[in-house]
Amino acid sequence: MAETLTLATRDGTSAGTGPDPASPLAVRGLTVSYGEKPALFSVDATFPVGAMAAIVGPNGAGKSTLLKASLGLIPSVSGLVTVFGQPIAAARDRIAYVPQRASVDWDFPTTVTDVVLMGRYRKLGLFRRVTRAECALATDALGRVGMEGFASRQIGQLSGGQQQRVFLARALAQEADLYLLDEPFAGVDAATERAIIEVLKALKAEGKSVIAVHHDLSTVAEYFDHVFLVNVRAMAEGPVATTFTPEALAQTYGGRLAATHLDQLALVRG
């Protein structure tokens, strides 16, 4: 299976089956399973460069799994992932990942600045000293998310929204080209949601690519310009204006989306 896939990408690029070298994240035939039940089945996705893309789908549809498997955080059964046309191992410097806030222990003995400096690990390595320039970079990243006054706080003393901003600052400190965010707006206050979306829009303006797992259908059209609908299988992908339709949503969510809710969404979009 893997063999044929690799062959297809090597000589099939002209046929459009291979990974797009310009795409910040292209996935071919990605299948991930927990036990015998696939969480994702043979998913193809090509995210465009410079876009603000949302991965949308119902609970348990494999949204976070798609991000994690693309990054190699969980093993996949089959599939090929390329980042800017390269295998992921060759492109780690260009990726910044913002995990779910709940994935870490916030009582860990570390300060806000120390967490942001973790984003510089690939530059610092084992031995390089944390120079003043590195610290300035961390301070700048904190400033961009409105957290400059919290630099020496222990992370456990932050509110949920502030913790999410620190995670975003850590990703900014990486100076990457592709930003992958897992539910960045989950359980954060309105001010943080606005602050995060401002930062993401600024990244897009710099030509960076953003891909976020997103669960709030009412803000998809407002925040994002590209959408990937998934429910174990890839359901639809394309610009929000043409892809984020009631029909595609009904197909993705099945009976789980109330018809009245759909009408509301259509109104919001109009």
Q: How far is the CB of 6 from another protein (least distance, A)?
A: 22
Q: How far is the CB of 49 from another protein (least distance, A)?
A: 20
Q: How far is the CB of 255 from another protein (least distance, A)?
A: 33
Please say which residue, 96 or 227, places its beta carbon nearer to another protein: 96
- Helix 190-205 vs helix 160-173: angle between axes, to the nearest 10 degrees? 10
Please say which residue, 83 or 248, places its beta carbon nearer to another protein: 83
Please say which residue, 6 or 157, places its beta carbon nearer to another protein: 157
Q: How far is the CB of 96 from another protein (least distance, A)?
A: 8
Q: How far is the CB of 170 from another protein (least distance, A)?
A: 8
Bridge partners, residue 234, by sequence: 230
Which residues sit at the interface with another protein, rule CB under 8 A? 68, 71-73, 89, 92, 95, 97, 99, 103-105, 108-111, 114-115, 118, 121-122, 124-127, 146, 154, 170, 180, 189-191
Q: How far apart are CA 169 and CA 113, in angstroms?
A: 10
Q: How far is the CB of 127 from another protein (least distance, A)?
A: 8
Please say which residue, 52 or 178, places its beta carbon nearer to another protein: 178
Please say which residue, 23 or 70, places its beta carbon nearer to another protein: 70
Please say which residue, 97 or 253, places its beta carbon nearer to another protein: 97
CB-CB neighbours of 195 under 10 Å? 20
Q: How far is the CB of 68 from another protein (least distance, A)?
A: 7
List C-alpha distances in Å: 174 to 109, 120, 159, 198: 22, 6, 23, 18
Q: How far apart are CA 37 and CA 32, in angstroms?
A: 9
Please say which residue, 108 or 259, places its beta carbon nearer to another protein: 108
Let me know: does 143 contact 151? Beta carbons within 8 Å: no
Q: How far apart are CA 111 and CA 130, in angstroms?
A: 15
Let me know: does 165 contact 193? Beta carbons within 8 Å: no
Let me know: does 97 contact 171? Beta carbons within 8 Å: yes
Q: How far is the CB of 85 from another protein (least distance, A)?
A: 18
Give the residue from 233, 231, 223 showing the smallest Cα distance to 257.
231
Bridge partners, residue 17, by sequence: none
CB-CB neighbours of 40 under 10 Å? 24
At residue 90, φ and ψ (nearest 5 deg) are: -85, -5
Q: How far apart are CA 213 and CA 222, in angstroms?
A: 15
Please say which residue, 114 or 175, places its beta carbon nearer to another protein: 114
